[in-house]
């Protein structure tokens, strides 16, 4: 196994541990596990909505959802280019897409701010990788869209709960 993949697995473990710690600090360890699972499987936005009935505060619910959603991304960022490079047809398609979209990369990544809440972080990162774009440009745009949408869901959801129940 490549050393870079070990770093990616370590990064995933750090994101998972951080999500667990935030849930533990919020005093909701039992509720943290299903929230982390839903964030990994379903993305951060449904997990953010789930954090409201589980009783998380807005900040803790958003942090656990975002951190848990980041768990698979380091492994994906390292492994997907290897998979593409081993598959000749996919490598040729990525090279062709990179030539075509290179001039749009600087401002094209801004589309991920809008697309991340709808497609999810995993799909946006996969699209960025298959277009051959640099992850240093793709990840901030994806994170901005994800954080904004999770923040709106969690704070808006908590506002609605307090409006109708209190």
Mean pLDDT of 146-158: 94
pTM: 0.89
Cα(159)–Cα(165) distance, integer angstroms: 10
Mean pLDDT of 137-155: 95
Cα angle value 144/12/101 (rounded, 5°):
45
Q: So where are the chain's domains?
A: 3-71, 73-145
Contact 60, 22 (CB under 8 A): yes
pLDDT band at 162; cut points 50, 70, 90? confident
- CA 160 from centre of chain: 25
> What's the pLDDT score for residue 76?
94
State pLDDT tens for residues 4-31.
Answer: 889 999 999 999 999 999 999 999 999 9
Number of CB atoms found within 10 A of residue 162's CB: 9
Q: What's the mean pLDDT when you consider all of the chain?
A: 92
Mean pLDDT of 124-135: 90
> What's the pLDDT score for residue 94?
87
> What's the pLDDT score for residue 166?
67
State pLDDT tens for residues 51-103.
Answer: 999 999 999 999 999 999 999 999 999 999 888 888 888 889 888 888 888 88
Integer Rg of the chain from CA: 17
Question: Would you say residue 1 has pLDDT above 70?
Answer: no
166 vs 75: which has the higher pLDDT: 75
Could you give the percent of the chain with pLDDT greater than 90? 70
Question: And the tokens for 145?
Answer: 């869209």
């Amino acid at each position: 196994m490549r050393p870079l993949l070990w770093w990616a697995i370590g990064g995933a473990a750090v994101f998972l541990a951080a999500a667990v710690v935030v849930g533990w600090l919020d005093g909701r360890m039992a509720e943290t596990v299903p929230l982390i699972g839903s964030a990994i499987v379903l993305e951060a936005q449904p997990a953010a909505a789930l954090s409201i009935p589980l009783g998380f505060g807005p900040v803790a619910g958003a942090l656990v959802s975002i951190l848990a959603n980041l768990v698979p991304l380091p492994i994906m960022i390292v492994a997907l280019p290897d998979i593409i490079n081993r598959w000749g047809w996919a490598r040729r398609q990525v090279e062709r897409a990179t030539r075509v979209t290179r001039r749009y990369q600087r401002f094209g990544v801004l589309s991920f701010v809008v697309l991340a809440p709808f497609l999810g972080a995993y799909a946006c990162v996969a699209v960025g990788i298959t277009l051959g774009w640099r992850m240093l440009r793709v990840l901030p745009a994806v994170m901005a869209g994800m954080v904004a949408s999770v923040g709106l869901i969690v704070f808006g959801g908590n506002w609605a709960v307090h409006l109708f129940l209190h």
